Amino acid sequence: MNQDLYPIKFQPILKEKIWGGQKLHTLLNKDSKLPNIGESWEISDVENDTSVILNGALKGKSLKDLLEIFKADLLGDKNYKIFGNKFPLLIKFIDAREDLSIQLHPNDELAAKRHNSFGKTEMWYVMQADDDANLIVGFNQKMTPEKYLKHLEDKTLTEILNFDQVKTGDTYFIEVGRVHAIGAGVLLAEIQQTSDITYRVYDWDRVDDKGNERELHNDLAIDAFNFEMEDDFRVAYETDKNSSNEMVSCPYFTTSFLHITEPILKINTKDSFFIYICVEGEAMIETENASEFIQKGETILIPAGIETYKITSANAKLLEVYV
C-alpha cells in the first residue's frame, strides 16, 4: 500500500439551475444559501470543474494533481492504461424542484467525434421523492424517427414518453441514446461517465428571467437516439445486509448497494479505485493509517492502492462504485 494514500473527500461543486431547489442544503447539508441549487458535483474531472481535496495531507490539491502524483495507485493498473491522467467517473447529487428538460446523451463514438469527450452512460438512485413525483425514461410505445419527429413538431412529445412514479431506493440505468428527464420533487444520486454533453430536445417552453428559452439541440439529438432499445431501464437489486448487492454492471462502472449494520472488512481485488456515496445514515471508513467519517450526502474516494479497509456503522446505506 502507498502510505501517502487515504480515503479522500472533495469539496462539492454546487451548480445553480433554473429548475433547482433547496433539498441539497436542507436534506444533504450542502453549504449554500442560494435559492436554486440543482446539482452538487461530488467527484469531477470535467474541464473547468475539477474537484479539490477537502481532507488530510493532500487538502487543497485537485483531482488532476492527484492523478499526476499517484497514477495507477489511484485508478488501478488496468484503468490507468485506458484512461491515463483522466478520471473516468462523474458523481453528482441532483435536486429537481421543477421538471428537468427532456434530453438524451450521445455514445462514445459520437461524443468523441463532435465534442472530444466521452459519451454519457449514467444511472440514478432515488434518495427522496415527493408524493406523485416521477421520472421520464424511454418511450411508452415502439418508436421510429418519423413518429418521434412528428410529435416533436406538434409539441405532443409528452404523449409518447414513459412516466414512472418513483420512491426512495428506485434505481434506473440510463444508457446513451435513451430519452429521459428527472421530474419535479425528486432528489437523486447520479453516477456517470466523465462527460457534460447533453442534448436537450424539449424544455417545457420555459423561459429565464430575461424571457429567453434555453437552447435546444434537436439537430444533434436525432442521430444520438437509439430507437431500438428494450424497456429494461428499471434496476432490480437485492438488499442483503453487510454485503455488496450488485445493481448495475456495464463497461463504464459497476455499482452495488451496501446496507451496513456491523463492521465489515473490504479487500480490494478489482484493480480499481472505489467510491462510496452515502445515501442514508453515517459510517466510518478505516484504513491502515487513516480513518474518515461519511454521512448522508457525502462521497468518499478510496484509491486503488489501498488494499484493505474497514467500514463500520450501526445503520448506513451506501452506493459502492468501481470501474
Residues with catalytic roles:
200
Instruction: Note whether 105 and 197 are within 8 A (CB).
Output: yes
Q: Name the grid cell of 75.
A: 485508478
Beta carbons of 103 and 198 less than 8 angstroms apart:
yes
Q: What is the pLDDT along the chain (323 residues), one digit of tens a residue?
A: 677 899 999 999 999 998 999 999 999 999 887 889 999 999 999 999 999 999 999 999 999 999 999 999 999 999 999 999 999 999 999 999 999 999 999 988 999 999 888 889 999 999 999 999 999 999 999 999 999 999 999 999 999 999 999 999 999 999 999 999 999 999 999 999 999 889 999 998 887 778 888 888 988 899 999 998 888 899 999 999 999 999 999 999 999 999 999 999 999 999 999 999 999 999 999 999 899 999 999 999 999 999 999 999 999 999 999 99
Q: Are 178 and 193 in contact (CB under 8 A)?
A: no
Task: Check if CATH label 2.60.120.10 holds for domain 13-224.
Answer: yes
Domain ranges in the chain with CATH number 2.60.120.10 = 13-224, 245-322
CA distance 19 to 285: 35
Please state which CATH class domain 245-322 belongs to: mainly beta
Q: What is the pLDDT of residue 232?
A: 83
Predicted confidence at residue 1, as pLDDT, reads 61
